[in-house]
Chain A
Amino acid sequence: MRDVTYLRPKDLQDAVQLSRTTPGCRPLAGGTDLMVMLHARTLRPAPRAILDVWSLSELKGVRRVDGMLEIGAAESYTGIIRSAEAQQHLPALVAAARTIGAAQIQNRGTLGGNLANASPAGDTLPVLLAYDAVVVTDRRSIAIDRFFTGYRHTALQSDELITAVRFPLDRQVVFRKVGTRAAQAISKVVIAVCRQPARVAIGSVAEVPLRASGAEAALASGDVAGAIAAVTADIRPIDDVRSTATYRQAVTQNVLRELLRQ
């Protein structure tokens, strides 16, 4: 058996210290991605240590900070769904959280995990892009539009821990996820749209969750038809096990049309 050290820090400071001093260390929050990858042995490089941050109180909760809403990196989707503040200010994030996996997954899955895993199909990630969320780590703040650097690559340094995500208040974002079935489906197209300021953020259509710059430019000038026309050039979908590039092109446009009609 491969040796993997399990580390359970007593507080955030301890976690930061362990993360910086333990080689090959991988943080564990809800484990909904990590445990699957460990079991299937698809994690490369294989981690030498697991840093379990799930129980750290500093990473939990939904609260107001500096005129923004801050959600702890290890707060569960269920916690977000139940938060009155999130329901009031971030309805699109709550809607996205409700579409993730089953209830058991929502009880364990976290925003920090969704960000660190950086799957192009991550259901919350376009919502974060549409809100211009800020990723707070143990050492800095990272604007969400600079966070995803490539396929499952992020701006995080190897020992950097996400501690929270901050959202502006009173931004109107709408969300739609297209999966193969009514529940427990991984998205084939996932879109979050904000009219003011103009944000069109899309997942599952490129190697990263992206902002559709052409569509946004058209939308910013009030050209809804232009935004719908432009979006196909903004995305780079592929054929994969879940869908086809052709489908993703057509449905991205169809869904954007519906969202902008609202």
Chain B
Amino acid sequence: MSCLRYRWRGRGAGLSAQPWKFLLLNMVTAVGRSVPRRDGASKVTGEARYTDDLVVAGAWYGKTIRSTIPRGTIRSITLDPAYDWGGSRVVLVTADDIPGDNVVDLIRDDQPVLARQGGEIRHKEEPILLLAAADRSTLEEAAEHIRIEYVPAEPVFDPAQASEVYTTIEIRKGDDVEAVEGVEVVVERSFTVGLQEQLYIEPQGAIASPTPDGGITVIGSLQCPYYVHRALKRALKLTDQQAVVVQAETGGGFGGKEEYPSMVAIHAALLARKAGRPVRLIYDRHEDLAATTKRHPGVITHRTGVKKDGTLLFQNIDILLDGGGYCTLTPVVLSRAAIHASGPYSCPNVRVRARAVATNTPPNGAFRGFGAPQSLFAAELMVEHVAERLGISSVDLRRKWMLRLGDTTATGQKLTESVSSDLVLDAALKAVPPVPPVSPSRPSVRRGRGLSLVFHGSGFTGSGEKKLSGTVAMEALADGTFQILTASTEIGQGTKTIFCQLAADALGVPMGRVTVAPQDTSLVPDSGPTVASRTAMIVGRLVQEAATEITERLKREKAPLRVEKSYIQPDSLHWDETTYRGDAYPIYAWACTIADVDVDVTTGAVRVTDLVTAVDCGKALHPVLAEGQVEGGCLQAVGWATIEEIKMKDGGYQNDRLATYLIPTALDAPNIRTILVENPYSRGPFGAKGIGELPMDGPAPAIIAAIHDATGVWLDEIPATPEKVIAALARKPA
């Protein structure tokens, strides 16, 4: 896999005043170099201890008993009276054992920690009871002596038929889209996207231990220590000090460990509290696949009005996302989906109507991209369909439509810097050779190429960062070393490494003198969750600011010193939550992706052979890690676009094992070529913008366009499984 970097010389005169440029000129920097990663050696050698590797003396094993129906109420829970339920053998936790609120704290208070007797069941695999015992076989045996009876109700599985709405969003720009004058061609099309599992390599898990002060310490596999901390305090009625959450080494998250670890942690804590001893609650892959959150599936419908020369006059977009049984993060996912729905294009008249509904499936939640991959998939294919209708090149149409410096987005945000639509499009087009012909020895293979252009808002939507006011601390210690205190987690993406790079350069010291404190809520301040492509850009900037301030103070004072920095919203950013007008994100990252595919018309198999993606991340703080984010995100998107399929049966996932939930293997992975374009952002650390989610956005529409190029058929639904390709080919007129 190869990587090219272009450094874009910013046009804005203000850039030269940035402190990072001063630093770059005056010392050998860590930033911009692919230094060894902080967690690399311990992970490679196996020294790193993940949650299930931790040995905790006297710990019991926990188990979750879950609903077997998608909707209804619990009629009764019966414990076999002949079975020995003595607390020295087995501990049982019901909703009655919850000292605080029976709710998993997040956005809306709808999701219970455990369903109540007589209470409502809203999806399959909903937690009802918890068990703990000294060994797993006792747990299995005890579980067989519990009978749960239900009064089933008619479930709702089709989002279009759902009556309960979690949230709606409307975005309006310009005139009433259906009254726009001068429209010569209207193109309408619907697109469907499927569920996707994050498939982090380490399943969910937590170990809870009671503490002498009546509190609980939870160590687990998680992205957001303070989310878990808040949820734990609320359900167990604990003080800030009594609840302690520690992140263990974590084997991936991708959003899947944003909200669900709160559930796991509360369950483990309830068991530990009742058992009076530590309890390990570690999911196996089957339970993890069956019960935890997935990417929201949805249907996105576009009506686009243009002139015959391609001039874009209106975009009218409807979004329907399936939230599943509980709200979780659905309103925020819908928000990001709606804001990205019109694509990276400048359109005078836009209406986006977005709706997320409740169905009786396990809840959907955070997953890399967070709604944007869904709506950008539709937006990008819409460009293709309009171009086809008008008989012009879709690349030319993109050039005509795309947002440039000074343009306004659908929310009315004026783009004032670091707009890279031209840069990434040119870089990607320049990098690809002509499509090579198929070997005559493979007569059933059709080859094609497709392109997409996407943007992705870095950091929280709207006023999110302002409300959160994430905090970082830094300590200068007497021995001349420095410690970064942050709740931002290392989940494989390189947080620890880039924070040390940023701090070292701002302090003017070698990286070896900077350490990162453990992600332990009793030690570090709340830097906000590790989500939303915000860690490097928002929290990294705070690290840089803290280090700069420490440097200044050390000129006058002596170590030890401690500095705290909290996010302050720049005055230039305005967002109105009620009208959805204003600066939806502080800045956008950009990507152009070109996919080459081979479609085997005998089997319908789509093989993505090559992906070239030009990505503007502002500044590649660590080029190898940045490239890793791009390659990983692209491969995850290839899976979403082609083979990662979840079929439902009675409200449960049929693909609930790795034998049936298939992700690409090394043999299925394309050659991925990453071109890092650096168009700096004035408020990012050293110019950096978020890059974690962007690579998830581009490949799917490029792949579908490439399948069309290869075969002449348009698929409107992903994943583009061989079944769908064969069916589409059969429908194609001869």
Binding site for B on A (CB under 8 A): 1, 40, 178, 180-186, 188, 241-244, 246-247, 250-251, 254-255, 257-258
**Cβ contact of A242, chosen from B601, B660, B664, cutoff 8 A:** B660
Is B603 engaged at the interface, CB distance under 8 Å to the other chain?
yes
Q: Do the beta carbons of B662 and A181 come within 8 Å of each other? A: yes
Query: Which residue of A is nearest B665, CB measured?
Result: A183
Query: Which residue of B is nearest A102, CB measured?
Result: B665
Q: Do the beta carbons of B655 and A241 come within 8 Å of each other? A: yes
**A73 → B minimal CB distance (Å):** 24
State A185–B666 Cα separation when bound (angstroms).
13
**Cβ contact of B668, chosen from A182, A246, A247, A254, cutoff 8 A:** A182
Given the known interface contacts A1-B137, A251-B726, the answer about A181 and B603 at a Cβ–Cβ threshold of 8 Å is no
Given the known interface contacts A185-B662, A242-B660, the answer about A180 and B643 at a Cβ–Cβ threshold of 8 Å is yes
Given the known interface contacts A181-B665, A182-B667, A185-B662, the answer about A247 and B604 at a Cβ–Cβ threshold of 8 Å is yes
State A27–B232 Cα separation when bound (angstroms).
48
State A180–B604 Cα separation when bound (angstroms).
10
Is B405 engaged at the interface, CB distance under 8 Å to the other chain?
no
Q: Do the beta carbons of B604 and A251 come within 8 Å of each other? A: yes
The 10 closest A-B pairs by CB, nearest first: A182-B667, A1-B137, A247-B723, A254-B602, A241-B654, A183-B667, A183-B665, A182-B668, A181-B668, A178-B603
By a CB distance below 8 angstroms, the chain A residues around B602 are: 251, 254-255, 257-258
By a CB distance below 8 angstroms, the chain A residues around B444 are: 254, 258
By a CB distance below 8 angstroms, the chain A residues around B140 are: 1
State A178–B605 Cα separation when bound (angstroms).
9
Is B548 engaged at the interface, CB distance under 8 Å to the other chain?
no
Would you list 13 pairs from A and B whose C-beta atoms are within 8 A, ordered by A residue? A1-B140, A178-B603, A181-B664, A183-B666, A184-B665, A185-B662, A243-B722, A250-B730, A251-B602, A251-B604, A251-B726, A254-B601, A255-B602
Is B571 engaged at the interface, CB distance under 8 Å to the other chain?
no
State A178–B607 Cα separation when bound (angstroms).
13
Given the known interface contacts A251-B603, A254-B602, A255-B602, the answer about A180 and B647 at a Cβ–Cβ threshold of 8 Å is no
We find that the number of chain B residues with CB closer than 8 angstroms to chain A is 30
Is B721 engaged at the interface, CB distance under 8 Å to the other chain?
yes
Is B82 engaged at the interface, CB distance under 8 Å to the other chain?
no
By a CB distance below 8 angstroms, the chain B residues around A244 are: 723
Given the known interface contacts A241-B655, A251-B604, the answer about A180 and B662 at a Cβ–Cβ threshold of 8 Å is yes
Is B141 engaged at the interface, CB distance under 8 Å to the other chain?
yes
State A243–B730 Cα separation when bound (angstroms).
16
**A230 → B minimal CB distance (Å):** 19
By a CB distance below 8 angstroms, the chain A residues around B667 are: 181-183
Query: Which residue of B is nearest A36, CB measured?
Result: B659
Binary interface profile of B, 694-734, with partner A (CB < 8 Å = 1, else 0)?
A: 00000000000000000000000000011100110010000
By a CB distance below 8 angstroms, the chain B residues around A185 are: 662
16 additional contacts (CB under 8 A) given A1-B140, A180-B662, A183-B666:
A181-B643, A181-B667, A181-B668, A182-B668, A183-B665, A183-B668, A184-B665, A241-B654, A243-B723, A246-B723, A246-B727, A247-B604, A247-B722, A247-B726, A254-B601, A255-B603
State A258–B605 Cα separation when bound (angstroms).
15
**A121 → B minimal CB distance (Å):** 11
Q: Do the beta carbons of A1 and B141 come within 8 Å of each other? A: yes
Query: Which residue of B is nearest A247, CB measured?
Result: B723
Q: Do the beta carbons of B665 and A247 come within 8 Å of each other? A: no
By a CB distance below 8 angstroms, the chain B residues around A183 are: 665-668
State A246–B137 Cα separation when bound (angstroms).
43
Query: Which residue of A is nearest B656, CB measured?
Result: A241
State A162–B682 Cα separation when bound (angstroms).
73
**A106 → B minimal CB distance (Å):** 15
Q: Do the beta carbons of B723 and A182 come within 8 Å of each other? A: no
Listed residue (A181, A184, A250, A255) with the most chain B CB atoms within 10 angstroms of its CB: A181
State A247–B601 Cα separation when bound (angstroms).
12
Query: Which residue of B is nearest A254, CB measured?
Result: B602
A-B contacts, CB under 8 A, total? 63
Given the known interface contacts A241-B654, A251-B604, A258-B444, the answer about A180 and B721 at a Cβ–Cβ threshold of 8 Å is yes
By a CB distance below 8 angstroms, the chain A residues around B647 are: 241
By a CB distance below 8 angstroms, the chain A residues around B399 are: none
Listed residue (B140, B662, B721, B723) with the most chain A CB atoms within 10 angstroms of its CB: B723
Is B286 engaged at the interface, CB distance under 8 Å to the other chain?
yes
By a CB distance below 8 angstroms, the chain B residues around A1 are: 137-138, 140-141
Given the known interface contacts A244-B723, A247-B722, A250-B730, the answer about A182 and B665 at a Cβ–Cβ threshold of 8 Å is yes
**A261 → B minimal CB distance (Å):** 9
By a CB distance below 8 angstroms, the chain B residues around A258 are: 444, 602
State A255–B730 Cα separation when bound (angstroms).
15
State A254–B600 Cα separation when bound (angstroms).
11
By a CB distance below 8 angstroms, the chain A residues around B668 are: 181-183
Binary interface profile of B, 659-692, with partner A (CB < 8 Å = 1, else 0)?
A: 1101011111000000000000000000000000
Query: Which residue of A is nearest B603, CB measured?
Result: A178
By a CB distance below 8 angstroms, the chain B residues around A188 are: 722
By a CB distance below 8 angstroms, the chain A residues around B141 are: 1
By a CB distance below 8 angstroms, the chain B residues around A250 are: 726, 730
User: In chain B, residues 630-675, which have Cβ atoms closer than 8 Å to a Cβ of chain A?
Assistant: 643, 647, 654-655, 659-660, 662, 664-668
State A255–B726 Cα separation when bound (angstroms).
13
Binary interface profile of B, 568-609, with partner A (CB < 8 Å = 1, else 0)?
A: 000000000000000000000000000000000111110100
**B142 → A minimal CB distance (Å):** 12
Listed residue (B286, B603, B660, B721) with the most chain A CB atoms within 10 angstroms of its CB: B603
By a CB distance below 8 angstroms, the chain B residues around A40 are: 286
State A225–B647 Cα separation when bound (angstroms).
36
Q: Do the beta carbons of B659 and A186 come within 8 Å of each other? A: yes
State A258–B140 Cα separation when bound (angstroms).
50
State A181–B670 Cα separation when bound (angstroms).
13
Query: Which residue of A is nearest B725, CB measured?
Result: A247
State A1–B667 Cα separation when bound (angstroms).
41
Listed residue (B604, B660, B722) with the most chain A CB atoms within 10 angstroms of its CB: B722
State A173–B446 Cα separation when bound (angstroms).
27
**B679 → A minimal CB distance (Å):** 37
By a CB distance below 8 angstroms, the chain B residues around A186 are: 659-660
**A139 → B minimal CB distance (Å):** 34
By a CB distance below 8 angstroms, the chain A residues around B607 are: 182
Query: Which residue of B is nearest A249, CB measured?
Result: B726
**B83 → A minimal CB distance (Å):** 14
By a CB distance below 8 angstroms, the chain A residues around B604 are: 247, 251
Listed residue (A186, A247, A254) with the most chain B CB atoms within 10 angstroms of its CB: A247
**Cβ contact of B603, chosen from A184, A242, A254, cutoff 8 A:** A254
State A188–B726 Cα separation when bound (angstroms).
13
State A188–B654 Cα separation when bound (angstroms).
16
State A99–B117 Cα separation when bound (angstroms).
49
By a CB distance below 8 angstroms, the chain B residues around A257 are: 602
Query: Which residue of A is nearest B141, CB measured?
Result: A1
**A248 → B minimal CB distance (Å):** 9
Q: Do the beta carbons of B660 and A247 come within 8 Å of each other? A: no
By a CB distance below 8 angstroms, the chain A residues around B722 are: 178, 180, 188, 243, 247, 251
By a CB distance below 8 angstroms, the chain A residues around B662 are: 180-181, 185
Query: Which residue of B is nearest A41, CB measured?
Result: B140
By a CB distance below 8 angstroms, the chain A residues around B603 are: 178, 251, 254-255
Query: Which residue of B is nearest A261, CB measured?
Result: B443
**B27 → A minimal CB distance (Å):** 48
By a CB distance below 8 angstroms, the chain A residues around B660 are: 186, 241-242
By a CB distance below 8 angstroms, the chain B residues around A178 are: 603, 605, 722
Binary interface profile of B, 122-164, with partner A (CB < 8 Å = 1, else 0)?
A: 0000000000000001101100000000000000000000000
